[in-house]
Amino acid sequence: MTAGEPAFTKLYWDQRSIRLEYTCVGIENPVAPLIVFLHEGLGSLRLWKDFPNRLCAATRCRGLVYSRPGYGQSTPFPTNEFWGTDFMHRQAYEVLPALLTNLGIDGSRDQIYLFGHSDGASIALLYASRFADFVNGLIVVAPHIMVEAVTVNSINRLKKTYGTGDMKIKFSAHHIDANATFSGWSQVWLDQAFRSWSIESELHKIQSPLLIVQGTKDEYGTVGQVNSIIQKLPNSEYMEIPGCGHAPHRTHPDALLSRSTQFIQTIATKRPISPWR
């Protein structure tokens, strides 16, 4: 796994052959800690912009950034295919482990950190609950661990405006099939059966240090998500960003970068000295 332009790896998943778009950032030392970046519900590799590069440079880590199936330049799902109310569980338990294996990353050997945003934060929490021994540290930004009315209402409004204005045009610049991506994601979140979705009962399995980040003006989630996580994992650290919406890595990158760097470096100082330092 070497740094460079976006590349592709093939997986056989969900009874089909798919390709995943990924890129490597940060230092090229193969024994350096690895930060895996997990994008939001409408995100992709490209939409992270330079934040992964900046965080990896600040922490002297390797970074893995990828687009999940159905996103970015990864294999799109057929239009109108229902992703299933367990779509985040399947990404955490099936796709991410397969990707790491394909790229020669071994959680029992490599120091792995997860950095997840929104749906990606939920996937990070799920992965850390299933593969607790493989996660060195966990940063979750605007995580969803249950479905809130504010989330559903905001997605409903987004759906009504998606086909108007320039949102659809901008979105198409980042995904092979923007319509299929938006439709698949919004259909699940707005499905009545998804209203009872929750991962609260799985959080107690997480063993790694956890940093939770939430903006006070997030239109897709409230501090109720944070409070529920802290109730289950009382040793979690919490960063609140006043006036921040749903994507602090885009609107408040310096504050998020500083706190995330401090979090990872604090964990690193508690480990035995490694040759990557």
Specify the number of domains making up the chain. 1
- The model's pLDDT over 175-200, given as tens digits with 9 standing for 90+, comes to 999 999 999 999 999 999 999 999 99
Task: List beta partners, residue 210.
Answer: 138
Range of the domain at 101: 7-269
27, part of any domain: yes
What proportion of the chain, given as a percentage, has pLDDT over 70? 96
Distances in Å between the Cα of 84 and the Cα atoms of 14, 88, 120, 176 are 12, 9, 16, 21
Least confident of 17-26, 29-38, 88-97, 158-167: 158-167
Under 8 Å between Cβ of 99 and 204: no
The pair phi, psi for residue 219, each rounded to 5°, is -85, -5
Distance CA(276)–CA(46), nearest Å, equals 28
254, part of any domain: yes
46, part of any domain: yes
275, part of any domain: no
185, part of any domain: yes
Average pLDDT of the segment spanning 43-66: 96
274, part of any domain: no
- The model's pLDDT over 69-98, given as tens digits with 9 standing for 90+, comes to 999 999 999 988 999 999 999 999 999 999
* pLDDT bracket for residue 271 (50, 70, 90): low
Give the CA-trace dihedral at 151, 156, 161, 162, to 10 degrees. Answer: 80
Under 8 Å between Cβ of 91 and 41: no
**CB proximity list for 232: less than 8 A, separation 6 or greater:** 200, 203, 204
Under 8 Å between Cβ of 114 and 38: yes
CATH of the domain at 195: 3.40.50.1820
Give the CA-trace dihedral at 228, 233, 238, 242, to 10 degrees. Answer: 0
110, part of any domain: yes
173, part of any domain: yes
Q: Beta strand 34-38 with 112-117: parallel, antiparallel or unpaired?
A: parallel
pTM of the entire predicted model: 0.95
Residue with tokens 């099936």: 94
pLDDT at 162: 87
User: What's the 3-state SS for the chain?
Assistant: CCCCCCEEEEEEECCEEEEEEEEEEECCCCCCCEEEEECCCCCCCHHHCCHHHHHHHHHCCEEEEECCCCCCCCCCCCCCCCCCCCHHHHHHHHHHHHHHHHCCCCCCCCCEEEEEECHHHHHHHHHHHHCHHHCCEEEEECCCCECCHHHHHHHHHHHHHCCCCCHHHHHHCCCCCHHHHHHHHHHHHHCHHHHHCECHHHHHHCCCCEEEEEECCCCCCCHHHHHHHHHHCCCCEEEEECCCCCCHHHHCHHHHHHHHHHHHHHHHHCCCCCCCC
Residue (of 121, 124, 118) closest to 151 by Cα position: 118
Query: Which tokens go with 135?
Result: 């996660």
Least confident of 58-72, 244-258, 261-275: 261-275
